[in-house]
Chain A
Amino acid sequence: MIKALKTVLPFAVVAIVIAGFTSTAKAEVDGEVQYIFNTLSFMFHGVLVFWMAAGFAMLETGLVRSKNTTMQLLKNISLFSVAAIMYFIVGYNLMYDGVDAGFMGSFSLWGQPAGEADGPFEAGGYSAASDWFFQMVFVAATASIVSGTLAERIKLWPFLIFVVVLTGFIYPIQGAWQWGGGWLSEMGFSDFAGSTIVHSVGGWAALAGAIILGPRLGKYGKDGKVNPMPGANLPLATIGTFILWMGWFGFNGGSQLALGTGADAIAITNIYINTNTAAAGGVIAAMIMTQVMFKKVDLTMALNGALAGLVSITAAPDTPSLLAALGIGAVGGVLVVIFVPLLDKLKIDDVVGAISVHLVAGIWGTLAVPLTNGDASFATQAIGIVSIGAFVFIASAVVWMILKVTVGIRVDEEAEQVGLDRAELAMEAYPEFGKGSQTL
């Protein structure tokens, strides 16, 4: 009896102490504490979104043939770096500085506001650099989408020039319309974490590129036959998808833009579980669709389904119930399985399915916002989708055309057949082992 008491007693004491603390801790949260928590939210959610760059790199590398492995890895790390530099040089201020319900901000370098460290540190505030960091990693996600679609045939440097324009100008300008407080946000457009602003934008840029660049050699036969070019490494593609799924908690959760209050904490955790459930719905929907349509479950489509579910919920991860989130994600998964073969019929060669995932599911997610958010309207959502789509598609097409007629965007036939690793980089991904990179 006494022995039992001895084991229970410490727990009882701890419980009483905790109860005492919680009852006295209901005082108002200090403004500076809120400032710190808001900043912290941008920091760790930003790191999660940064990690999505690794997810894109692995997904894309897994879905290209092994002769293009090194090039795909190089494009992923270089596009991230270009995005980071361009967003500093011009992007952030073009998106956020003095947009004033208009069409764009200012052409200027981003800099830390003078005297920021002197305070005051207000309840809704956060450090300017944490915001810059969080917004910067989003731009890189947009550019990653493009590299997947155009893989295995585009030249390195012209691709990076396009990324300069996309991350420095195209993305920030349309971002200013909504997130910078421009005309679209005045109108009441709603895109919480960027189904349209981040994902569809990447998808439109990729679509323009894919049409102008053309399909990979031998992808489409004369009689309209589609010749599959299976990805070299499905384990990499799968871990890439898991990394993206993980990063998405930062992408959507961090877009609450605050963690200073209990209400913010509840909002972010709701966003987490909605995001997660939408992804799960996308996977299962894509699996069922492929089983029914092709009589076999396709892993790569299940991976695309996860991402489509995530893109779909991104426009409104905060308002749906879990059940609604499941439905929104599942529709995304269904759309992917319909659109991947459809794009092939149109001879638009999208190596990783990025157009179906990011553009199509992005449009769906943006249109679905009014289903769970009474403040949004279908008409305004449609205006946002069409205006951003038209701007990004046309601007991208112009840049791609200029690059095509000046420096050229496509490697020559022999380089494509040999693989970009050997032809463009003279560096194989697996020089010492594995027969993949050494076979014709």
Chain B
Amino acid sequence: MKMIMAVIKPFKLEEVREALTPLGIEGMTVSEVKGFGRQKGQAEIYRGAEYQVNFLPKVKIEIACVDDLVEQVVETIQKTAMTGKIGDGKVFVCALDKAVRIRTGETDAEAL
């Protein structure tokens, strides 16, 4: 099992979800986050004074999935979340040791 964590542009969220469900992804966790990457921040202006917004809003998706699906999921996210402009985000994959479905007590692959 792997945990796939992707940080993407907020307006791409629905498109990514739609592209992932046909692959057999049964769940994901989404959070609104802020951060910076190579895009850095952006300049905004308020009442005549410019200021730098250093952390830009992004959406973070977390998906736990079985090893077989990992490559497909990562590729799908990369393709659908891409706009080609700076600030498209990143995908991270980490090892996942255990999963438990709270309602039934099922574990690992059965719990996903």
Is the Cβ of A337 less than 8 Å from the Cβ of B48?
yes
What 1/0 flags go to A283-313 for Cβ under 8 Å of B?
Answer: 0000000100110101011000000000000
Q: Which residues of A contact B47 (CB under 8 A)?
A: 228, 298, 300-301, 340-341, 353
Q: Report B46-61 residues with CB < 8 Å from chain A CB.
A: 46-51
Is the Cβ of B49 less than 8 Å from the Cβ of A227?
yes
Q: Report A342-368 residues with CB < 8 Å from chain B CB.
A: 344, 353
Compute how far the CA of A301 lies from the CA of B46 in the bound complex, rounded to whole angstroms. Answer: 9
Is the Cβ of A298 less than 8 Å from the Cβ of B49?
no
**Most A-side CB within 10 Å, residue of B46, B48, B49:** B48
What 1/0 flags go to A320-352 for Cβ under 8 Å of B?
Answer: 000000000000000001001100100000000
**Most A-side CB within 10 Å, residue of B45, B47, B51:** B47
Minimum distance in angstroms from B9 CB to a CB of chain A: 20
**Most B-side CB within 10 Å, residue of A230, A290, A300, A301:** A230
The size of the chain B interface, using a CB distance under 8 A, is: 8
Compute how far the CA of A293 lies from the CA of B49 in the bound complex, rounded to whole angstroms. Answer: 11
Q: Which of A227, A296, A337, A344 contacts B51 (CB 8 A)?
A: A227
Count of inter-chain pairs, beta carbons less than 8 A: 34
Residue of B nearest to A225 (CB): B49
Residue of B nearest to A228 (CB): B46
Q: Which residues of A contact B44 (CB under 8 A)?
A: 230
Q: Which residues of A contact B49 (CB under 8 A)?
A: 226-228, 341, 344
Minimum distance in angstroms from B59 CB to a CB of chain A: 15
Minimum distance in angstroms from A259 CB to a CB of chain B: 40
Is the Cβ of B48 less than 8 Å from the Cβ of A341?
yes
Compute how far the CA of A290 lies from the CA of B47 in the bound complex, rounded to whole angstroms. Answer: 9
Compute how far the CA of A353 lies from the CA of B47 in the bound complex, rounded to whole angstroms. Answer: 9
Compute how far the CA of A226 lies from the CA of B45 in the bound complex, rounded to whole angstroms. Answer: 11
Is the Cβ of B48 less than 8 Å from the Cβ of A298?
yes
Which B residues have a C-beta under 8 Å from some C-beta of A?
Answer: 44-51
Q: Beyond A230-B46, A344-B48, A353-B47: 7 further Cβ-contacts under 8 Å?
A: A228-B45, A228-B47, A230-B44, A296-B45, A300-B47, A301-B47, A337-B48
A-B contact pairs, 26 of them (CB 8 A): A227-B49, A227-B51, A228-B45, A228-B46, A228-B47, A228-B49, A228-B50, A229-B46, A230-B44, A230-B46, A293-B48, A294-B45, A294-B48, A296-B45, A298-B45, A298-B46, A298-B47, A300-B46, A300-B47, A301-B47, A340-B47, A340-B48, A341-B48, A344-B48, A344-B49, A353-B47
